[in-house]
């Protein structure tokens, strides 16, 4: 069943201002916002992209090819959504939960006037994103794939901190089957993650985090998703982000999903804007970043 994009283009009718939130509700909202940051789903914009129209047929072929080999296939788009995407508009999609009470998937798609490599570098460069209150450490050796990352989020009270271990990889089979037009950078929760986290902290591999903190933290029950880039031409690329995540504990999944969906646009816009200046940062002295085909980007 195709999923239509969320419609955000119409003016809203006037409604009286709501009553101020209680202190506890304010903390809950602030905490949910912070957790969204930790899960890499952030911020807002819904204006059309500067990208010129893309033929719907070309987009449809790319999406079909992507879904044939993707680790996390995208939702099927209805004709209205496909047309809006081809016209440079941001799409924000919400899937139903796969199981009753399970986390929903959100997806954002945007056609950008940028090359595949520029967007990939913009979303992958480790120097360009820093999330306040998030500690992250790579546990695997440099150059080892899949790579394993430990992340610990210092949640504002009264809620417990969150932590998780991710297994991260690039879909090399997709790159090969598409002749390097389609790249996917995906992650899942690592097997035996809680024990891996405890061992890493006990060995002193995670600065600023100790075993007592880990014992009180909530290990997130679900986190999987992907960044994707689809080369439509030399300097026009479809950028996408898709994720299903639950933060567990007393934070309702619906609250986090609603806020994340609302703010998804700026995540993509920020990567698009960063791609215009990435090559001045990614100079000869910069460590090479692996492309979606497994080869370092020159």
Check residue 201 and give its pLDDT: 98
Helix (H, G, I), strand (E, B) or coil at 202: helix
Mean pLDDT score of the chain: 84
Q: Are 49 and 111 in contact (CB under 8 A)?
A: yes
Number of other residues whose CB lies within 10 A of the CB of residue 159:
19
Q: Which residues of 111-124 are buried (b: 16+ CB within 10 A; e: fewer)?
A: bbbbbbbbbbbbbb
Work out the average pLDDT over 234-253. 92
Work out the average pLDDT over 218-246. 95
Check residue 130 and give its pLDDT: 63
Kindly indicate the confidence band of residue 50, based on its pLDDT and cuts at 50, 70 and 90. low
Task: Give the tokens for residue 4.
Answer: 């239509």
User: Kind of pairing, strands 162-170 and 222-233?
Assistant: unpaired
C-alpha span between 113 and 263 (Å, rounded): 22
pLDDT, tens digit (0-9, with 9 covering 90-100), for 14-45: 334 344 444 433 444 444 455 544 443 333 33
Does pLDDT of 10 surpass 50?
no
Check residue 193 and give its pLDDT: 97
pLDDT, tens digit (0-9, with 9 covering 90-100), for 77-109: 999 999 999 999 999 999 877 766 678 999 999
Which structural domains are found in the chain, ordered by start?
Answer: 24-56+86-266 (3.30.530.20)
Q: Are 260 and 241 in contact (CB under 8 A)?
A: no
C-alpha span between 155 and 165 (Å, rounded): 17
Work out the average pLDDT over 120-138. 86
Angle value at C-alpha 89, between 84 and 95, nearest 5 degrees: 75
Choose among 278, 261, 292, 291: nearest CA to 39: 261
Q: Are 39 and 260 in contact (CB under 8 A)?
A: yes
Q: What are phi and psi of 41, to 5 degrees?
A: -120, 100
Check residue 51 and give its pLDDT: 57
Percent of the chain predicted with pLDDT > 90 = 67
Task: Give the tokens for residue 142.
Answer: 């440099």
The alpha carbon of 10 is separated from its chain's Cα centroid by a whole number of angstroms, namely: 26
**Prediction pTM value:** 0.82
Percent of the chain predicted with pLDDT > 70 = 81
């Amino acid at each position: 069943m195709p999923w239509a994009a969320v419609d955000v283009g119409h003016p809203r009718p006037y409604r009286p201002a709501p009553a101020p939130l209680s202190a506890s509700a304010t903390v809950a909202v602030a905490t949910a916002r912070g957790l969204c940051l930790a899960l890499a789903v952030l911020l807002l914009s819904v204006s059309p992209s500067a990208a010129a129209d893309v033929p719907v047929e070309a987009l449809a072929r790319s999406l079909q090819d992507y879904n044939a080999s993707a680790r996390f296939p995208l939702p099927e788009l209805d004709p209205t959504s496909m047309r809006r995407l081809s016209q440079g508009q941001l799409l924000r999609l919400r899937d139903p939960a796969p199981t009753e009470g399970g986390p929903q998937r959100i997806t954002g798609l945007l056609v950008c006037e940028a090359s595949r490599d520029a967007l990939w570098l913009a979303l992958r460069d480790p120097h360009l994103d820093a999330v306040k209150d998030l500690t992250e450490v790579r546990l695997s050796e440099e150059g080892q794939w899949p790579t394993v990352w430990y992340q610990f989020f210092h949640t504002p009270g009264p809620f417990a901190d969150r932590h998780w271990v991710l297994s991260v990889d690039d879909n090399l089979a997709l790159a090969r089957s598409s002749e390097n037009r389609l790249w996917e950078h995906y992650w899942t929760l690592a097997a035996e993650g809680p024990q891996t986290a405890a061992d890493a902290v006990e060995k002193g591999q995670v600065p600023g985090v100790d075993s007592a903190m880990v014992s009180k933290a909530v290990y997130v029950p679900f986190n999987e998703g992907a960044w994707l880039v689809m080369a439509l031409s030399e300097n026009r690329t479809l950028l996408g982000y898709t994720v299903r995540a639950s933060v567990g504990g007393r934070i309702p999944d619906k609250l986090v999903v609603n806020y994340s969906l609302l703010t998804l646009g700026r995540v993509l816009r920020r990567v698009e804007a960063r791609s215009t200046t990435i090559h001045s940062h990614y100079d000869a002295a910069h460590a090479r970043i692996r492309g979606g085909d497994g080869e370092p980007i020159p």
